[in-house]
Each structure stands twice: as C-alpha cells, then as structure tokens.
Chains A and B, each alone.
Chain A
Amino acid sequence: MPPAVVFIEAVVLAGRFPLLSGLSLEVATGEVVHLRGANGAGKTSLLRACAGLLPIASGRAEVLGHDLLVDRVSLRRAVGLLGHAGFHYEELSVRDNLRFALRASRAPLERAGPALERLGLTGRLLDTPVGACSAGQRRRLALAVLVARAPRLWLLDEPHAGLDAEARATVDALVAEARVGGATVLLASHELERAAAIADRSVEIAGGRVVPAATDSAEVGCDVA
C-alpha cells in the first residue's frame, strides 16, 4: 500500500506569511495520526492543504496518490474535511444541507438517513434551518456529512470541540470504524489523552513544520494508548 499522505519540505503561503514552512510528513494508509501543537502551529493549514484547498508554494505534497502541485481538485471527492466552519447554508434545513452535500460529492443519498441517526439528528431537527441550530448540532451535521460520504482520508480538525459526552464518544467510535474500513485519519486535537487513545501515533507541529516530539508528553501519550 502506498502512503496516504506524503509531504516533503512543503511550503504553503497566505500572502507572505508561511502557514507551512517546509513541513515533512508521511502517513501510511489505514493509519490514525494525531496532530498536536499550540494554536497557530499549522495544524489546520496542514489539514486544509491535505484537502487540496491550499496551493503548495514549494516542496512536494502527495495525497492518496494525487500530486497537489499538479492537481488539487481531483482528489477532493476522496477526502473529507471536518473544519472549524461547517460549510453549511444557514437558510437550508439540516436535511437539505446533507442532501446537497451528498449530491455534490456524488455520494449515494441512501446513506443520509443512517448518518443522521448515527449523530442523533432526528425528528423536528431535520427540518430546522442550520442557522437556527446550536453549535453542537451544526458540528453533528458536519460529522453526519462525513459519515455519509465515507471518504478514504478523514481530516478532522478538533473533532471533539463543542460536543457533549455522548457525541464525543460517537466521534471516537467513528474514527475506529473508519480505520477498520481501511480509511486513513488525520486528527488535530488539543485533547491529548482522548486523541492519543484513538490514534496510532502522534506528531508534533510547531512553526509550520513537524518537529521532534517533546519526549515527556509523547511518552505519556503512548502510555495511554
């Protein structure tokens, strides 16, 4: 199996600011990798770059066999990004948003029902406009989109944020299931213990690059795992 993600000295710029400053990372297919790092370290940028949303200024970047310097579009149906934003239309209902997302990414519509149920989005909520939903409910919807799309690469940015205990457990279960299904998962999280429990390994990011893990906390993570 070729690796799912290969970044070599990748630089990503926002104007003149380097979001990634020469990041190197390799993730094997089927691996669950936890990205750690302070705010602004570059975790979100790495996930967005993996989704083909950010242009690579220099270096090498391949995701699921697609060279991102050549083509950042063709891989998008195979990856799923859970970002800080939900990519929803406030005026459309929960159900309509999910159906649109599935149609747009050519995923079968039959998966919508089970996915909504899995995330506890049922009843009256289905017809509520997303603009009227709570932050946690919007987060669940974004997760439901991901579940229904069943991507080969899951890019999760703070997946536990804003969720209640039950939903957080669901997230952990979803990651485990995705992995059993052969998908690769990159997950950025500040909840070190929780993330360490579901990840195969953790990677420390600082200043827009992967840095050698600070030994003490990394070992704590391994022990928990």
Chain B
Amino acid sequence: MSVASHPVEAVALTGRALAPARGARIASACGLVGLVGVVLTVWLGLWVTPPDAYMGNLVRLLYIHPSMAWDAFLAYGVSFLASAAYLWPRTRDLRLDRVAGASAEAGVVFTGITLVTGSLWGRPTWGVWWTWDPLLTTTALLFVLYLGYLALRRLPGEPEVRARRSAIAALVAFIDVPIVYFSVSWWRSLHQGPTIQPGRSEVHGSMAWTLLLSFVAFSLVYVWMLAERYRLAGLQARDEVEGLADALAERRAEAGMSRAGEAS
C-alpha cells in the first residue's frame, strides 16, 4: 500500500492538503467582509433607503430576495460544474465531489430563503402567497430536485462510488432545469390567466446601491459558506480514511483470532 496513486492514499493526501493557510484566510476574509456587507445592507435597507411609492416598506425585501435567488442559482451552477468536472476522467478528483456537495447544500438553503421571502413579498403585493409564475415554479421544483440529490449524497458508501453516483444524479437533475423552466413559461403564456405583475418601481439612488451591495455581500457569504462546508467535508473524509486504516488492521487481525479459535 505504498503507491501514492492508490485512491485510499490519495484521499488521505487531499485531506491533509485541504486547509492550506492561505485558502482558509481568503475564505475567512470573504466571510468577514460579507458579514459586514450584510450588516450594512440591513442598515441601509431598513433605515436609509426610502419606502417605495407603490409598495411602501415592502420594497425593502428587494435587498434580500433577489440576492438570495442569485446565490441559489450561483450555488447550483457551481455544483453542476464541479459534478461535470468530476465525471470528466482527466479532472476526476474527490475534492470536486466535495465542492459539488457543499455548494448544493448552500443552494438548498438559499432556495429555501428565496421561496419564503418571495412568498412573504407576494402576499401583500399580489394578494396571494403563491403564484404559478415560471421562475417561482422552477425554483420550487429545483428545491425538491436538490433535496433528492442531498438525500442521495447522504447514503453511506465508498467515497468514489458515492461521488460518481452523485455526480451523475446532479447532471440528470440539472438538465431538467431548462426543460422545466421552458415548459412552465409556455404553460403560463398559453393560459391567459391573471398574470400578476408587481408594480413597476424605479430603482435608483441609494436603493440601487443597497441592492448592489446586497448582491456582493450575500455572494461573499456564499463563498465563505462553501469554503467552510468544503473544509468540513474534507475533515470528514480524512476521518473516514483514518477509520479505514483501523478497519484494515482490525480485519487483518481476524486471521489471528480465527487461528486461535481453531487451535482451542
């Protein structure tokens, strides 16, 4: 077991090389700046920016809802790219699998927040908690699709097997997204139902800046969450590898035991 290209050994190496000081520092910096940005966004969004002519104070959801949705799609995009790269033989690496899993988890959290804030926003502006808008419907389906993906990831198994299975599932889930979006939009356009448009509001001045800040701040928070979750997954993988060495030793020791049993 001395060849470094053994998968078992490779996991150990990547596990050890996982938290190089620089990467960790960058991630922490992202987190810090992001959190400061979030605090600023809250302050600007709740106190500094003016209420909207149409929506009044409800417009303040503008500083959280769109950036959450953006984060969710960004997270799924990263997860998809990492999965695709894992399946590509030349770039196959368990670290990519960890990125895919970590990003999908963040994506599910952001999707959940997007749906809740969207619903809170929709009730007073459109008069309904939910509407079968293409974007909304696609987001809700994405939410359940990726809950399924995470359930699949949580199943026990050999890391390589789990990684390949998850990557294939992620790809299959992801190509469903445009099909869903297209079909739902078309469905809506055919049914000339009461499509409810939010009152057109001008976004300018302090509002625009706050909106921009919210995007930057929450994106940085996403990067930080991703990095932390990835680091944790690396530590778990290292535990598994250390556990493996013990398991191998234990298994080999069975030989002595059975011999002793025969002798007695």
A and B directly contacting (CB within 8 A) = yes
B252 close to A16 (CB less than 8 A): no
In the complex, the answer to whether A17 meets B1 with C-beta atoms within 8 Å is no
Cβ contacts under 8 Å, B161 to chain A? 55
Q: Which one, A77-85, A100-108, A202-210, is touching chain B?
A: A202-210
A58 to B255, CA, bound (A): 20
Q: Do A207 and B247 form a contact, CB below 8 Å, given A11-B1, A21-B252, A55-B158?
A: no
Residues of A within 8 A of B254 (CB): 40-41, 206-208
Any B CB within 8 A of the CB of A31: no
Which of B3, B6, B247 is within 8 Å of A17, CB to CB? B247
Q: Which among B7, B160, B258 is the interface contact of A41 at CB below 8 angstroms?
A: B258
Residue total for B at the interface (Cβ-Cβ under 8 A): 27
**Complex partner residue of B252 from A17, A22, A55, A57, CB under 8 angstroms:** A22
Give the Cβ gap from B86 to chain A, nearest Cβ, in Å. 16
B251 an interface residue at 8 Å Cβ cutoff? yes
User: Is the CB–CB distance between A209 and B158 below 8 Å?
Assistant: no
Decide yes or no whether A18 CB sits under 8 A from chain B: yes
Task: Give the CA-CA distance A183 to B244 in the complex, in Å.
Answer: 37
Interface centre among A21, A37, A41, by most B CB within 10 Å?
A: A21
Tell whether, in the assembled complex, residue B247 and residue A206 are in contact, meaning their CB atoms are under 8 Å apart.
no
CB distance from B15 to the nearest CB of A (A): 15
Minimum distance in angstroms from A4 CB to a CB of chain B: 24
Is A18 a contact partner of B251 (Cβ separation < 8 A)? yes
Residue from A21, A37, A214 within 8 A of B248 (CB atoms): A21
Is the CB–CB distance between B261 and A16 below 8 Å?
Answer: no
CB <8 Å contact, A38 and B247? no
A-B interface contact total, Cβ < 8 Å = 70
Distance of A209 Cα from B244 Cα, bound (Å): 16
A132 to chain B, nearest CB (A): 35
Contacts of B127 in A (CB 8 A): none
Asked if A58 contacts B247 (CB within 8 A), the reply is no
A207, B1: Cβ atoms closer than 8 Å: no
A38 touches B258 (CB 8 A): yes
What is the minimal beta-carbon distance from B7 to any residue of chain A, in angstroms?
A: 6
In the assembled complex, the CB of A125 is this many whole angstroms from the nearest CB of chain B, namely 40
* CB of B204 closer than 8 Å to a CB of A: no
Taking the complex as formed, is A221 at the interface, i.e. its CB lies under 8 A from any CB of chain B? no
Pick the contact of A214 from B1, B3, B251, B262 — CB < 8 Å? B262
A57 touches B243 (CB 8 A): no
Are B158 and A15 within 8 A (Cβ)? yes
Most buried by B among A15, A41, A59: A15
Q: Is A172 an interface residue (CB 8 A)?
A: no
Q: How far is the CA of A59 from the CA of B8 in the complex (A)?
A: 10
Residue B259 at the chain A interface, CB threshold 8 Å: yes
Please determine whether B1 and A209 come into contact, CB atoms closer than 8 angstroms. no
Give A188-225 interface residues, CB cut-off 8 Å to B.
Answer: 206-209, 211, 214
Question: Of the candidates B8, B9, B156, which one forms a contact with A15 in the assembled complex, judged by CB atoms under 8 Å apart?
Answer: B156
A125–B247 Cα distance when bound, in Å, is: 47
Smallest distance from the beta carbon of B163 to chain A beta carbons, Å? 13
A13 at the interface (CB under 8 A from B): yes
> Which one of B3, B251, B252, B261 has the greatest number of beta carbons of chain A within 10 Å?
B251
**A67 at interface by CB-CB < 8 Å:** no
- Decide yes or no whether A9 CB sits under 8 A from chain B: yes
Closest 10 CB pairs of A and B: A207-B254, A206-B255, A207-B255, A58-B6, A21-B251, A38-B258, A18-B251, A207-B252, A208-B251, A211-B255
Chain A residues in the interface with B (C-beta under 8 A): 9, 11, 13-18, 21-22, 37-38, 40-41, 55, 57-59, 206-209, 211, 214
List 4 extra interface pairs beyond A21-B248, A208-B251, CB under 8 A.
A22-B1, A206-B255, A207-B256, A211-B259
Residues of B within 8 A of A (CB): 1, 3, 6-9, 156-158, 160-161, 240, 243-244, 247-248, 251-259, 261-262
- Would you list 7 pairs from A and B whose C-beta atoms are within 8 A, ordered by A residue? A13-B158, A15-B158, A16-B158, A18-B244, A58-B1, A206-B255, A207-B255
